[in-house]
Chains A and B, each alone.
Chain A
Amino acid sequence: GAGVSQSPRYKVTKRGQDVALRCDPISGHVSLYWYRQALGQGPEFLTYFNYEAQQDKSGLPNDRFSAERPEGSISTLTIQRTEQRDSAMYRCASSQGGTQYFGPGTRLLVL
């Protein structure tokens, strides 16, 4: 594809609901990253994959957050039992050769 795509672009949910955010990386990119960006802040690392293997999940804030990339391409970030503090922009990036290319992000609002 032309670039990294994410869906949905906007998600409004009620506290306590589960949400799944999808990332479709650039075709052929081995590495995929998830970041979270609060308003007025820079993005913060959540987790990353090489192929289907989760290499580092040190940035996931708690066990309500999980991510998978079962076939080494599309990835899903799942947040269970959402809380208002989870409201943020969730960004995905893919890379090949050291440069990360970012998608447009999913803006999550938890009411």
Chain B
Amino acid sequence: AQSVTQLDSHVSVSEGTPVLLRCNYSSSYSPSLFWYVQHPNKGLQLLLKYTSAATLVKGINGFEAEFKKSETSFHLTKPSAHMSDAAEYFCVVSDTPGGTSYGKLTFGQGTILTVHP
């Protein structure tokens, strides 16, 4: 079974300050991990994904995440927040039981990021 816990439902930062969105996961197999972003009235957009290659993953718009197996974490960071980063962010896990095919995604509850000027 797989599950995801996003530790903060809301995060508020000032423009230009660092962003940290926390995520812990549970997986029976070697997980694939993703971060998706959802802007108001728009679809889900993939920010980045981890699939057992490098543990530090770089994504779009300056975001990155580090896979830490010992801590079962996959926190999302960005050095300097921009107003356009304000959105809802989802941490997502997908089990890959020994193969390369991907099945269903399990989403966290989401973290709403607010960026103040």
Contacts and interface: CB of A to CB of B under 8 A. Distances in A.
Interface in B37-70: 42-46, 49, 51
B104 A56 contact: yes
Contacts of B32: 98
Given A41-B109, A42-B90, A98-B32, A33 B104 contact: yes
Interface size class of A (residues with CB under 8 A): 20 to 34
B100 A98 contact: yes
B22 to A, nearest CB: 15
Interface in A1-51: 4, 31, 33, 35, 40-45, 48
A98 B106 CA distance: 14
A5 to B, nearest CB: 10
A9 B67 CA distance: 36
A104 B42 contact: yes
A42 B103 contact: no
Nearest to B32: A98
Interface string B16-49: 0000000000000000101010000011111001
Nearest to B6: A42
B51 to A, nearest CB: 7
Contacts of A105: 43
B107 A44 contact: yes
Contacts of A41: 109-110
A91 B43 CA distance: 9
Interface in A76-101: 91, 93, 95, 98-101
Interface of B: 32, 34, 36, 42-46, 49, 51, 90, 92, 100, 102-110
7 contacts: A42-B92, A43-B107, A48-B104, A98-B51, A99-B46, A102-B36, A102-B45
In order of increasing CB-CB distance, the 8 nearest A-B pairs are A42-B107, A45-B104, A102-B44, A104-B43, A98-B102, A102-B43, A43-B107, A42-B110
